[in-house]
Chain A
Amino acid sequence: AQSVAQPEDQVNVAEGNPLTVKCTYSVSGNPYLFWYVQYPNRGLQFLLKYITGDNLVKGSYGFEAEFNKSQTSFHLKKPSALVSDSALYFCAVREGSSNTGKLIFGQGTTLQVKP
């Protein structure tokens, strides 16, 4: 069965410092991996995805993520955090061969960036 784990409920970083939000996954086939961000009382905004190709994926707002097949991870990173990055972040996975299009979401990680 497909699953996604975000081991940290909350990540705290100081503005200007690098940030990492962790995600590990489990699928039986090739994974399609996604990161979304959610601001309070809003829907989810797409940040980036990995389908195939280069393991380092660059996305919106300066975020990037690295696909690591051996560790089954897809951690979200940013070199220099902004206070405005404070939000709820979701990692999601879909099995590549799946024709349903359904995403499995992690439980979410709250990122708090302090000035």
Chain B
Amino acid sequence: GAVVSQHPSRVICKSGTSVKIECRSLDFQATTMFWYRQFPKKSLMLMATSNEGSKATYEQGVEKDKFLINHASLTLSTLTVTSAHPEDSSFYICSVVPGTSGEETQYFGPGTRLLVL
């Protein structure tokens, strides 16, 4: 399967600051990446679809100005949580799709644990 990394794995920040999370596809080029949020012992909630070279597509209810997504290259997408607040504390996971045939598997990064104090 594909290798996906996320950095940082864990971050603690003060309320009001911004946090950037990186998602890298290490062994193939990914035109599409997805960002998810997961609460403890809960399913994944899709936040947005990140498309290389174009604006991200956000799911209903996700604030695009709050969660900034940049997919500047075929191997890197970033999620920036702006003016973070304690309710933004969560586990953020990215995934990548290696290809465009429609049958591809999504491969997931190891996740980033965000704690906002």
Chain A interface residues toward B at CB < 8 A = 32, 34, 36, 41-46, 49, 51, 88, 90, 96, 98-103, 105-108, 110
Contacts and interface: CB of A to CB of B under 8 A. Distances in A.
Given A34-B105, A88-B41, A102-B34, A43 B93 contact: yes
A101 B34 CA distance: 9
Contact of B111 (A36, A43, A51): A43
Interface centre among A34, A43, A45, A51 (most CB of B within 10 A): A43
Interface of B: 1, 4, 6, 32, 34, 41-44, 46, 49, 57, 91, 93, 95, 97, 102-111, 113
Closest 4 CB pairs of A and B: A43-B108, A44-B108, A43-B110, A43-B111
A4 B1 CA distance: 24
Interface of B, helix, strand, loop or mixed by DSSP:
strand
Contacts of A100: 49, 57
A81 B44 CA distance: 25
Contacts of B6: 43
A90 B105 CA distance: 14
Nearest to A34: B105
